[in-house]
Amino acid sequence: MISHLAGKVAAIAPEGAVIEVGGVGLLVQCTPGTLATLRPGEHARVATSLVVREDALTLFGFATDDERDVFVLLQTASGVGPRLALAMLAVFTPDALRRAVLSEDVAALTRVPGIGRKGAQRIVLELAGRLGAPGSGGPGDGSSVAAARPGGPAPWREQVRAGLVNLGWQARDADQAIAAVEADLADTAAADGANGADGAPAQAADPAVMLRAALRKLSRA
């Protein structure tokens, strides 16, 4: 098993990143939240899981070891393959998934594209007690490397839009959800007395957090 990759980020696409290790560019499929922590030309480390199929070898990358471990565990549930497991981690942090399973929150799990009520009930039944308690996985509390990074503002709008489209939402619906999230940001800035007239608070937002906020908007639509 390839446990992690450490190297220069050669390229980023909506569905993954190419990380150069020893002169070889390795394509890693990632959640939008993980992609938000990567910058082309910069050094990065991602935890990885290699999925072997008869016709393909696919490498999946994660911002933390906890995300990787949860990704592997999710696939032990009936009907959950790597793509669906990745979609679950795009919607939920590892600890949010633990809370949903422990509390048998079927409605929350159905917010993931591709999971219906019966599928959510099966996941709860099969993973109960296996994901651990919230906070038990180390850095799985939803904090992102991007949030701690110094530097310029993240272009979260395009990253969130690409993430929503990759998860199966129509571009029009994605744009409406992003607009609703931006409106919430502006209201929060105004309530806090921040000078949000130039949009600075929205520019500095964490893409992973904004993606989850947009998904909540879409789940209520």
Residue 137: its pLDDT value, please? 59
DSSP SS3 for 108: helix
CA distance 11 to 141: 27
**Single-letter code of the amino acid located at 168:** G
Report the CATH superfamily, name and number, of domain 65-127. 5' to 3' exonuclease, C-terminal subdomain (1.10.150.20)
Residue 123: its pLDDT value, please? 93
CA distance 70 to 123: 13
**Would 4-62 and 65-127 be classified into the same CATH topology?**
no
Q: Phi and psi at residue 42, in whole multiples of 5°?
A: -100, 160
CATH number, span 4-62? 2.40.50.140
pTM value surpassing 0.85: no
Nearest-CA neighbor of 69 among 78, 57, 56, 60? 60
* 206 CB neighbour count, 10 Å cutoff: 20
* 89 CB neighbour count, 10 Å cutoff: 25
Residue 82: its pLDDT value, please? 92
Nearest-CA neighbor of 136 among 86, 180, 95? 95
CA distance 122 to 218: 24
C-alpha to C-alpha distances, 40 to 16, 19, 25, 177, 194, nearest whole angstrom: 12, 9, 13, 27, 32
Q: Phi and psi at residue 30, in whole multiples of 5°?
A: -140, 160
Q: Phi and psi at residue 20, in whole multiples of 5°?
A: -90, 120
Residue 205: its pLDDT value, please? 66
Domains of the chain by residue range: 4-62, 65-127, 151-220
Low-confidence ranges of the chain (pLDDT < 50): 138-154, 195-203
**Single-letter code of the amino acid located at 77:** A
